[in-house]
Each structure stands twice: as C-alpha cells, then as structure tokens.
Amino acid sequence: MRDHHARRIRRDRAVHAAVAQGLLDPYRTPVAAFVDVEGIARTAAELLAAWPRGTEVLHAFAAKANPMVPVLALLLRHGLGCEVSSPGELAQARAAGFPAARIVLDSPAKTQAELAEALRDGIALNIDNFEELERVDRLVADGTAAVRVGVRINPQVGLGSIEAMSTAGRTTKFGIAMADPGNRERLLAAYAARPWLRWVHVHVGSQGIPLELNAAGVAEAVRFAQEVNARRAGQIEGIDIGGGLPVDFSKDEDSPTFADHVAVLRQAAPELFGGELKVVTEYGRSVMAKNGFIASRVEYTKTTGGRAIALAHAGAQVAARSVFAPRSWPLRVLAYDRHGLPSTAELEVQDVAGPCCFAGDLVARERKLPKLATEDIVVVPDTGAYYFSSPFQYNSLPMPPVYGFEVSEGDVVRFHVLRAAESIEEVVARSGVLPAGLR
C-alpha cells in the first residue's frame, strides 16, 4: 500500500478510536492533537534511505519544528540527530536523550554562556557573524577546545515565495553575506587563521523555496569550502546544508520527497557526494508535518449573511500561522461525524472558525465541506510541525493534550499521552504570581 494511503487510513482509524475511547469528549476535551508513531518511523527510514551510503550524514532534526521531548526521543530512536536554536531546545534535546555528538547549535544571537557550553560539551556550533567569531576566539584562547565549529554563510541566492521563510536574501539577518564587498576575502582569511574552523553552514529556507534555489545555496557553500581547502588541504571536513524541503499541504502524499532533494543536490553540487565531505542536514517541517493532526469538536453552527459557519475549538491558539497568513500557510480541513467517521453529509460552502476572540480566527474560509453539525469533528491534517507543539497563548486558552497513536493488527488503536492537557490551574500559574503586598 502506498504510504500516503496508509497514512490516511491510520488517521481515519485514530479519529474513530479517539471518539470511542473518550479522547475527544465534547464536554471535557473538545480539542486534541495526535502524532502518528508509525508515520514517524516511516519518514525517518525514507530520509535515511534517500542519502547514499558513501556519504557520512547526520540528519539533525530541527527541534523548532516540534520540540516535544517524546517526539524528539522517537526521532532519536530512529537514527536522527537534533538541531537546536535556544537554551530551551537544547535542554529538550538533552531530556530526549540526544548525546552531544548528535546535537547542532544554531542561532543568530547566542549568548556567551551558550557558546561556552557548546564548546565545552562538544556540541556542533555554527557561528553566525564576525563578532560571534571573536567571542569564540576568546574562549579558544582560554583553553576551550573547538571540536566541531563552522561559520554560517548567506549565499544571497534569492528569496522564495514566503519572504519570512527565506534565509538567503540580500539583506537576510542570518550568516555572513558572501556577496557583500570584502566579506568573502575576510572570511577566507578567518579560516586561514583558525585551523579549528572545520565546517561551513548554509540554509536557504524551506517552505516556499524551490529545490533548485536551495541547491544553489548549497553549491555556493561547497565552492567556498573548496577555496578554503585549496589554501589548507583538508581543513573543511563537512558542510551543514540546513533544511530545505517544502511540504505540500494540499494532499496526504509527500511531494517533493527527500530523494527528490538529493537528486537536485547531486546536479548542483556533485562534490557533496564524493565521499570527502561529511554532511549535516537540518530537516524539520518535512519530517513531522504529515505525521500529526489536530481534531476538534464543533461546538455550534450558524449562518451569518448567508454564510454557514462552524464554531470549533481549533483556531489561532494551535494554528497561528494559517490563521494570520492563510495564503502562505493553507491547511486542509476534513469533516468527520460525531462518531469519528468520515462525514457523508451534503457539501456546503462554510467557514470553520476557532475559539479565539477576534474575527479573523478562521482555519478555513469559504471552504466546500460536508455540512458540519454540532458535535461533528473537524480534523486539520499536516500539523505535526510548528502547530500544536508551538501554541499561541491568546485568550489564555489551555494547551490541548497530545497523543501518540499506533494502529496494530485487527485495527486496534493504542494511544500514549505525549503531553497532558493543560489544566486551568496551570494556565493561572503561568500567568504570574500575585505579590503578597497586592493581596
């Protein structure tokens, strides 16, 4: 069975089982998120298989895409590393069990403490700018070892269709801009003066970035590495190529695939696959997006100005990007009946609105869907990355529970709590402490 068909079947069975087991109770838990455990295993296997055996690769999952500790632990179990961009993500990676040798630290604003910790523990470190390089110089001069250190370049190859997700524009904040006057020569001199600079890092972006644009940025990083190695043979041992695989949110099928990305990279930067360079990847969205979904009961339905509206419990608090920028981040909405079975109701143009107290809190606008009724279920697929794992705490709405699920023989669905539902008491606790003098 083709994997996208299997993915849909697992999702349908999980929704039905979640209703039967009371995980989408309309009174107590009207919204929940779900992680496809088998889907993660399949995706990780596809990623590992896409890269040739002759190339030494560490696939460092971008923790920002889903920093939940149980999810990171699953990815570690299936052979991935972890890319982190903050002290919080680093702590989550450590809690999931990642050893320092499988962690990569990126961030354009790393503190001195973060740099010292990374160097001390042997975590791979990508330096963002010349000032940061000077900070690392001082740490190395004080006797700290520099084991896996590189510099992020901005190849300035251009923007994709979503500017906020494009990281190789002329004025993008990340990395050292290689086309700016004098920067290439200055960086080559920096590598020549520091034999411990052994890596080059580049990331062009992911969503909205054509594979060819991504590959052009990687090719520029390879060319720079060759220039460094021409001055000191073998100095550059590897290229961190970042992420770069967009997700098609319009269907269950993975398109493009990891194999598609590798094929384009082979054309643009064949030297990457010659066996002389190690490689780090930082895929995030493409690993997790299709391995998670959000499900919500419909609380009410009504008609306003001739438009049918279903009011549900999944909105901006779990899908902020799609609510605030629906053209850039469109999501499908699937309709199920109150028993958790795919709806067979007559199609109707509807809005599907979330619970947040502003008019734009819509996950679907003028969408033709089976007519929704109170206690029906709306499912928002492809949300395993950047959605329920990064909640928007508007209106002090509690974070929904997150369940991992597995479908065994006989279509038995087993659920595991990956994150318990946030209680109202916990919402109040994160709102601050009332000083005694104000009581």
**Superfamily assignment of 3-36+289-429 in CATH?**
Lyase, Ornithine Decarboxylase; Chain A, domain 1 (2.40.37.10)
30 burial type by CB count under 10 A (0-12 exposed, 13-18 middle, 19+ buried): buried
Strand partners, 177: 154
Positive/negative CA dihedral, 153, 155, 156, 160: negative
CB 197 within 8 A of CB 190: yes
Band of the pLDDT at 2, cuts 50, 70, 90? low
Q: Angle of helix 37-50 relative to helix 3-20, nearest 10 degrees?
A: 160
What is the value of pTM for the model shown?
0.95
Q: Is the pLDDT at 162 greater than 80, yes or no?
A: no
Mean pLDDT, residues 245-249: 94
**In the chain, what are the helix, strand and coil shares in percent, each to the nearest 5?**
35, 25, 40
The β-bridge partners of 176 are 153
Closest CA to 128 of 115, 145, 141: 115
- Could you tell me if 403 and 416 are in contact, meaning their C-beta atoms sit under 8 angstroms apart? yes
**Phi then psi dihedrals of residue 119, to 5 deg:** -65, -40
Q: How confident is the model at residue 1 (pLDDT cuts 50, 70, 90)?
A: very low
What CATH topology corresponds to 37-288? TIM Barrel (3.20.20)
The pairing of beta strand 103-105 with beta strand 197-201: unpaired
Rg from Cα positions in the chain: 23
* 3-state DSSP assignment of residue 353: strand
Yes or no: say if 426 and 398 are a contact pair by the CB < 8 Å rule: yes
Residue ranges matching CATH 2.40.37.10 in the chain: 3-36+289-429
Question: Per the structure block, which two tokens stand in for 197?
Answer: 């600079």
pLDDT band at 262 (very low <50, low <70, confident <90, very high): very high
Q: Model confidence over 189-234: pLDDT tens digits? A: 999 999 999 999 999 988 888 999 999 999 999 999 999 999 999 9
Q: What distance in Å separates the CA atoms of residue 238 and residue 261, rounded to the nearest whole number? A: 18
Mean pLDDT value across the chain: 94
- What average pLDDT does range 262-272 have in this prediction? 96
If you ran DSSP here, which 8-state letter would residue 102 be given? Answer: G
Residues of the chain with CATH 3.20.20.10: 37-288
Instruction: Identify whether the C-beta of residue 352 lies closer than 8 Å to the C-beta of residue 378.
Output: yes
